[in-house]
Protein backbone atom coordinates (compact mmCIF):
# COMPACT_ATOMS: atom_id res chain seq x y z
CA UNK A 1 0.00 0.00 0.00
CA UNK A 2 1.20 3.49 -0.86
CA UNK A 3 1.91 5.26 2.44
CA UNK A 4 1.63 8.81 1.11
CA UNK A 5 -1.34 10.58 2.71
CA UNK A 6 -3.64 12.05 0.06
CA UNK A 7 -6.50 14.47 0.70
CA UNK A 8 -9.25 14.42 -1.94
CA UNK A 9 -10.74 17.86 -1.52
CA UNK A 10 -14.48 18.48 -1.50
CA UNK A 11 -16.87 20.98 0.11
CA UNK A 12 -19.82 21.19 2.48
CA UNK A 13 -22.78 20.37 0.25
CA UNK A 14 -25.68 22.68 1.07
CA UNK A 15 -27.69 21.61 -1.97
CA UNK A 16 -26.64 24.56 -4.14
CA UNK A 17 -25.08 22.46 -6.88
CA UNK A 18 -27.30 19.36 -6.82
CA UNK A 19 -24.50 17.12 -5.58
CA UNK A 20 -23.25 17.08 -9.16
CA UNK A 21 -19.86 15.64 -8.29
CA UNK A 22 -21.03 13.02 -5.83
CA UNK A 23 -21.21 10.04 -8.16
CA UNK A 24 -17.93 10.83 -9.91
CA UNK A 25 -16.22 11.53 -6.58
CA UNK A 26 -17.43 8.28 -5.00
CA UNK A 27 -16.38 6.17 -7.96
CA UNK A 28 -12.96 7.85 -8.09
CA UNK A 29 -12.46 7.46 -4.34
CA UNK A 30 -13.40 3.77 -4.46
CA UNK A 31 -11.03 3.17 -7.38
CA UNK A 32 -8.09 4.95 -5.75
CA UNK A 33 -8.74 3.26 -2.40
CA UNK A 34 -8.97 -0.09 -4.17
CA UNK A 35 -5.60 0.56 -5.81
CA UNK A 36 -4.04 0.81 -2.35
CA UNK A 37 -3.75 4.60 -2.10
CA UNK A 38 -3.99 6.14 1.36
CA UNK A 39 -6.69 8.64 0.46
CA UNK A 40 -9.46 10.43 2.36
CA UNK A 41 -12.12 13.02 1.57
CA UNK A 42 -11.43 16.37 3.26
CA UNK A 43 -13.51 19.56 3.21
CA UNK A 44 -11.26 22.44 2.20
CA UNK A 45 -12.55 24.92 4.79
CA UNK A 46 -12.88 22.50 7.71
CA UNK A 47 -10.95 24.25 10.54
CA UNK A 48 -10.32 20.92 12.29
CA UNK A 49 -8.11 19.52 9.52
CA UNK A 50 -4.34 19.47 10.04
CA UNK A 51 -3.14 19.98 6.47
CA UNK A 52 0.48 19.39 7.39
CA UNK A 53 -0.23 15.67 7.76
CA UNK A 54 -0.82 15.26 4.02
CA UNK A 55 1.79 14.52 1.40
CA UNK A 56 -0.54 15.50 -1.42
CA UNK A 57 -3.72 17.54 -1.69
CA UNK A 58 -5.90 16.94 -4.75
CA UNK A 59 -8.53 19.58 -5.51
CA UNK A 60 -11.47 17.57 -6.75
CA UNK A 61 -14.68 19.42 -5.88
CA UNK A 62 -14.23 22.54 -3.72
CA UNK A 63 -17.41 23.66 -5.44
CA UNK A 64 -18.14 26.64 -3.21
CA UNK A 65 -14.70 28.26 -3.40
CA UNK A 66 -16.04 31.22 -5.40
CA UNK A 67 -18.65 31.89 -2.69
CA UNK A 68 -15.84 32.15 -0.12
CA UNK A 69 -13.01 33.41 -2.30
CA UNK A 70 -11.07 35.28 0.42
CA UNK A 71 -11.13 32.20 2.67
CA UNK A 72 -10.09 30.06 -0.31
CA UNK A 73 -7.11 32.31 -1.09
CA UNK A 74 -6.13 32.24 2.59
CA UNK A 75 -6.30 28.44 2.55
CA UNK A 76 -4.04 28.31 -0.51
CA UNK A 77 -1.61 30.62 1.30
CA UNK A 78 -1.61 28.26 4.28
CA UNK A 79 -0.91 25.23 2.09
CA UNK A 80 1.93 27.12 0.48
CA UNK A 81 3.33 28.05 3.89
CA UNK A 82 3.16 24.40 4.96
CA UNK A 83 4.89 23.42 1.70
CA UNK A 84 2.27 20.76 1.01
CA UNK A 85 2.14 19.62 -2.60
CA UNK A 86 -1.17 20.64 -4.19
CA UNK A 87 -2.74 19.48 -7.44
CA UNK A 88 -3.26 21.53 -9.28
CA UNK A 89 -0.31 23.80 -8.29
CA UNK A 90 -1.29 26.66 -5.99
CA UNK A 91 0.07 29.46 -8.18
CA UNK A 92 -1.93 28.16 -11.16
CA UNK A 93 -5.09 27.72 -9.06
CA UNK A 94 -4.79 31.27 -7.74
CA UNK A 95 -4.39 32.61 -11.29
CA UNK A 96 -7.28 30.51 -12.60
CA UNK A 97 -9.72 31.56 -9.85
CA UNK A 98 -10.28 35.00 -11.40
CA UNK A 99 -11.51 35.01 -14.99
CA UNK A 100 -9.07 37.79 -15.81
CA UNK A 101 -6.83 34.89 -16.72
CA UNK A 102 -8.74 34.94 -20.03
CA UNK A 103 -7.18 38.33 -20.72
CA UNK A 104 -3.71 36.83 -20.14
CA UNK A 105 -4.48 34.05 -22.60
CA UNK A 106 -5.87 36.46 -25.16
CA UNK A 107 -2.74 38.59 -24.93
CA UNK A 108 -0.69 35.45 -25.59
CA UNK A 109 -2.54 34.66 -28.79
CA UNK A 110 -5.26 32.29 -27.60
CA UNK A 111 -8.58 32.82 -29.40
CA UNK A 112 -10.93 33.80 -26.58
CA UNK A 113 -14.59 34.82 -26.75
CA UNK A 114 -14.44 38.68 -26.81
CA UNK A 115 -14.63 40.02 -23.25
CA UNK A 116 -15.25 43.38 -21.58
CA UNK A 117 -14.31 43.73 -17.91
CA UNK A 118 -16.63 45.48 -15.49
CA UNK A 119 -14.60 46.26 -12.39
CA UNK A 120 -16.17 46.49 -8.95
CA UNK A 121 -17.84 49.89 -8.67
CA UNK A 122 -18.17 50.37 -12.45
CA UNK A 123 -21.48 51.34 -14.01
CA UNK A 124 -23.20 48.87 -16.32
CA UNK A 125 -24.06 50.65 -19.59
CA UNK A 126 -25.99 48.22 -21.78
CA UNK A 127 -26.38 50.44 -24.88
CA UNK A 128 -22.65 51.03 -25.10
CA UNK A 129 -21.89 47.35 -24.48
CA UNK A 130 -24.20 46.13 -27.22
CA UNK A 131 -22.76 48.72 -29.61
CA UNK A 132 -19.19 47.60 -28.84
CA UNK A 133 -20.02 43.93 -29.39
CA UNK A 134 -22.42 44.40 -32.28
CA UNK A 135 -24.38 41.53 -30.76
CA UNK A 136 -28.08 40.86 -30.25
CA UNK A 137 -27.48 39.22 -26.87
CA UNK A 138 -24.74 39.39 -24.21
CA UNK A 139 -23.64 37.20 -21.32
CA UNK A 140 -22.83 38.95 -18.02
CA UNK A 141 -21.21 36.96 -15.19
CA UNK A 142 -18.94 37.49 -12.17
CA UNK A 143 -15.16 37.49 -12.63
CA UNK A 144 -14.96 34.92 -9.83
CA UNK A 145 -17.77 32.42 -10.30
CA UNK A 146 -18.89 28.94 -11.22
CA UNK A 147 -22.00 26.89 -11.82
CA UNK A 148 -23.65 29.76 -13.77
CA UNK A 149 -24.07 31.74 -10.53
CA UNK A 150 -25.32 35.32 -11.17
CA UNK A 151 -24.96 34.68 -14.90
CA UNK A 152 -27.32 36.48 -17.29
CA UNK A 153 -28.01 36.10 -21.01
CA UNK A 154 -29.66 39.32 -22.09
CA UNK A 155 -31.05 41.17 -25.10
CA UNK A 156 -30.66 44.94 -25.01
CA UNK A 157 -34.21 45.36 -23.67
CA UNK A 158 -33.61 42.73 -20.99
CA UNK A 159 -30.23 44.27 -20.13
CA UNK A 160 -31.83 47.67 -19.62
CA UNK A 161 -34.40 46.07 -17.30
CA UNK A 162 -31.61 44.34 -15.33
CA UNK A 163 -29.33 47.38 -15.14
CA UNK A 164 -30.23 48.28 -11.57
CA UNK A 165 -29.66 44.70 -10.35
CA UNK A 166 -26.33 44.36 -12.19
CA UNK A 167 -25.15 47.71 -10.84
CA UNK A 168 -26.00 46.51 -7.32
CA UNK A 169 -23.96 43.36 -7.94
CA UNK A 170 -21.10 45.47 -9.31
CA UNK A 171 -20.87 47.20 -5.95
CA UNK A 172 -19.89 43.82 -4.47
CA UNK A 173 -17.58 42.29 -7.10
CA UNK A 174 -16.22 42.55 -10.62
CA UNK A 175 -18.03 41.12 -13.63
CA UNK A 176 -17.28 40.40 -17.25
CA UNK A 177 -19.46 40.68 -20.33
CA UNK A 178 -19.24 38.70 -23.55
CA UNK A 179 -21.33 38.53 -26.72
CA UNK A 180 -23.60 35.51 -26.68
CA UNK A 181 -22.11 33.00 -29.11
CA UNK A 182 -25.07 31.47 -30.95
CA UNK A 183 -23.07 28.30 -31.54
CA UNK A 184 -23.42 27.51 -27.81
CA UNK A 185 -27.14 27.10 -28.45
CA UNK A 186 -26.98 25.66 -31.97
CA UNK A 187 -23.88 23.43 -31.78
CA UNK A 188 -23.15 23.13 -28.06
CA UNK A 189 -20.08 23.68 -25.90
CA UNK A 190 -17.06 21.40 -26.12
CA UNK A 191 -15.12 20.17 -23.09
CA UNK A 192 -11.73 18.55 -23.65
CA UNK A 193 -10.29 16.63 -20.68
CA UNK A 194 -6.57 16.17 -20.02
CA UNK A 195 -4.68 14.29 -17.29
CA UNK A 196 -1.04 15.31 -16.77
CA UNK A 197 -1.25 17.22 -20.02
CA UNK A 198 -2.27 14.13 -22.00
CA UNK A 199 -5.61 14.07 -23.78
CA UNK A 200 -8.18 11.75 -22.21
CA UNK A 201 -11.67 12.37 -23.61
CA UNK A 202 -14.19 14.87 -24.93
CA UNK A 203 -17.81 15.75 -24.29
CA UNK A 204 -20.17 18.09 -26.10
CA UNK A 205 -22.66 19.83 -23.82
CA UNK A 206 -25.95 21.22 -25.13
CA UNK A 207 -28.53 23.38 -23.37
CA UNK A 208 -32.16 22.37 -23.07
CA UNK A 209 -34.53 24.17 -25.46
CA UNK A 210 -35.05 27.79 -24.45
CA UNK A 211 -32.02 27.91 -22.12
CA UNK A 212 -28.39 28.91 -22.64
CA UNK A 213 -26.80 27.12 -19.68
CA UNK A 214 -25.22 23.81 -20.66
CA UNK A 215 -24.64 22.57 -17.09
CA UNK A 216 -26.54 19.33 -16.53
CA UNK A 217 -28.11 20.61 -13.30
CA UNK A 218 -29.91 23.17 -15.51
CA UNK A 219 -31.20 20.47 -17.85
CA UNK A 220 -28.28 20.42 -20.28
CA UNK A 221 -27.35 17.13 -21.96
CA UNK A 222 -23.96 15.55 -22.59
CA UNK A 223 -22.87 13.83 -25.80
CA UNK A 224 -19.63 12.10 -26.78
CA UNK A 225 -18.97 12.71 -30.49
CA UNK A 226 -15.52 12.46 -32.03
CA UNK A 227 -14.07 15.98 -31.67
CA UNK A 228 -12.92 17.88 -34.76
CA UNK A 229 -9.13 17.54 -35.00
CA UNK A 230 -8.54 21.29 -35.24
CA UNK A 231 -10.46 21.96 -32.01
CA UNK A 232 -8.64 19.21 -30.12
CA UNK A 233 -5.26 20.46 -31.34
CA UNK A 234 -6.12 23.98 -30.17
CA UNK A 235 -7.16 22.64 -26.75
CA UNK A 236 -3.92 20.64 -26.49
CA UNK A 237 -1.85 23.76 -27.24
CA UNK A 238 -3.65 25.68 -24.48
CA UNK A 239 -2.99 22.92 -21.94
CA UNK A 240 0.65 22.49 -23.02
CA UNK A 241 1.36 26.17 -22.49
CA UNK A 242 -0.93 27.20 -19.64
CA UNK A 243 -1.46 24.13 -17.44
CA UNK A 244 2.07 22.89 -16.67
CA UNK A 245 2.28 20.36 -13.85
CA UNK A 246 -1.51 20.04 -13.67
CA UNK A 247 -2.99 16.65 -12.81
CA UNK A 248 -6.20 17.60 -14.63
CA UNK A 249 -7.36 20.29 -17.01
CA UNK A 250 -10.62 20.92 -18.80
CA UNK A 251 -10.75 23.19 -21.84
CA UNK A 252 -14.25 24.54 -22.55
CA UNK A 253 -14.94 26.22 -25.84
CA UNK A 254 -17.20 26.60 -28.82
CA UNK A 255 -16.57 26.07 -32.49
CA UNK A 256 -16.72 29.52 -34.09
CA UNK A 257 -15.88 29.91 -37.78
CA UNK A 258 -14.14 26.53 -37.70
CA UNK A 259 -11.88 27.47 -34.79
CA UNK A 260 -11.98 26.85 -31.05
CA UNK A 261 -13.04 29.98 -29.19
CA UNK A 262 -12.05 29.45 -25.56
CA UNK A 263 -14.74 30.03 -22.94
CA UNK A 264 -12.99 28.59 -19.87
CA UNK A 265 -9.77 26.84 -18.90
CA UNK A 266 -10.94 24.88 -15.86
CA UNK A 267 -8.08 24.06 -13.46
CA UNK A 268 -9.70 24.14 -10.01
CA UNK A 269 -12.87 22.06 -9.57
CA UNK A 270 -14.12 20.94 -12.95
CA UNK A 271 -16.49 18.05 -13.29
CA UNK A 272 -14.39 15.61 -15.31
CA UNK A 273 -17.10 13.60 -17.10
CA UNK A 274 -15.09 10.43 -16.46
CA UNK A 275 -18.14 8.17 -16.59
CA UNK A 276 -18.64 9.12 -20.25
CA UNK A 277 -15.37 7.56 -21.43
CA UNK A 278 -14.14 3.97 -20.99
CA UNK A 279 -10.84 3.98 -19.12
CA UNK A 280 -11.01 7.60 -17.97
CA UNK A 281 -10.92 6.73 -14.24
CA UNK A 282 -7.93 4.50 -14.89
CA UNK A 283 -6.17 7.26 -16.84
CA UNK A 284 -6.74 9.63 -13.90
CA UNK A 285 -5.21 7.03 -11.57
CA UNK A 286 -2.17 6.56 -13.82
CA UNK A 287 -1.66 10.33 -13.97
CA UNK A 288 -1.93 10.56 -10.19
CA UNK A 289 0.68 7.80 -9.80
CA UNK A 290 3.14 9.86 -11.85
CA UNK A 291 2.51 12.86 -9.60
CA UNK A 292 2.95 10.72 -6.47
CA UNK A 293 6.26 9.44 -7.78
CA UNK A 294 7.41 12.98 -8.47
CA UNK A 295 6.40 13.99 -4.93
CA UNK A 296 8.33 11.03 -3.48
CA UNK A 297 11.40 11.91 -5.53
CA UNK A 298 11.28 15.51 -4.28
CA UNK A 299 11.23 14.32 -0.66
CA UNK A 300 14.08 11.85 -1.14
**One domain, residues 262 and 168:** no
Question: Do 134 and 165 belong to one domain?
Answer: yes
Maximum Cα interatomic distance, the chain, rounded to a whole number of Å? 63
Does an H or E element contain 37, and which? Answer: none
Kindly state whether residues 107 and 213 are assigned to the same domain: yes
pLDDT attached to residue 186: 79
pLDDT tens string 94-149: 999 999 999 999 999 999 988 899 999 999 999 999 999 998 999 999 998 776 67
Domain boundary among 140, 163, 180: 180
The contacts of residue 161 (CB under 8 Å, 6+ apart) are none
DSSP single-letter state for residue 71: H
Per-residue model confidence (pLDDT) at position 268: 97
Hey, how many other C-beta atoms are within 10 angstroms of the C-beta on 79? 19
Q: Fill in the DSSP letter of residue 52.
A: G
Residues near 83 by beta carbon (within 8 Å), at least 6 away in sequence: none
* Same-domain pairing of 107 and 134: no
**Are 106 and 231 contained in the same domain?**
yes
5: nearest Cα among 82, 81, 75: 82
* Cα gap 106→262, rounded to integer Å: 9
- What domain count does the chain have? 3
**92, 86 contact by CB (below 8 A):** no
On whether both 107 and 222 belong to a single domain, the answer is: yes
Looking at residue 296, its pLDDT comes to 74
Q: Is the same domain home to 187 and 244?
A: yes
What does the alpha-carbon distance between residue 138 and residue 43 come to, in Å, rounded to a whole number?
36
Q: Quick one: pLDDT at residue 214? A: 47
157 and 218 fall within a common domain: no
Domain limits at 241? 102-111+183-273
CATH of the domain at 246: 3.30.470.20
CATH number at residue 32: 3.40.50.20
CB contact at 8 A, 54 and 78: no
Q: Which residues of the chain have pLDDT under 70?
A: 1, 14-20, 147-148, 207-220, 298-300
Amino acid sequence: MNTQQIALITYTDTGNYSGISDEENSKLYDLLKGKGLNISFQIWDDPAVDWSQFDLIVLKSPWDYFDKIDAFYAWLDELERLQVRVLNPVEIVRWNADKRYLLDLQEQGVKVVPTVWLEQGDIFEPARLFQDFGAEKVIVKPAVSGGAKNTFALTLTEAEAKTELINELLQQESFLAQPFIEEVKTKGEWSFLFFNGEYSHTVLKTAKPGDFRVQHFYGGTVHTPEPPAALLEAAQRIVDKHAPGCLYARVDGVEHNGELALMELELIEPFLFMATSAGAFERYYEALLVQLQEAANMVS
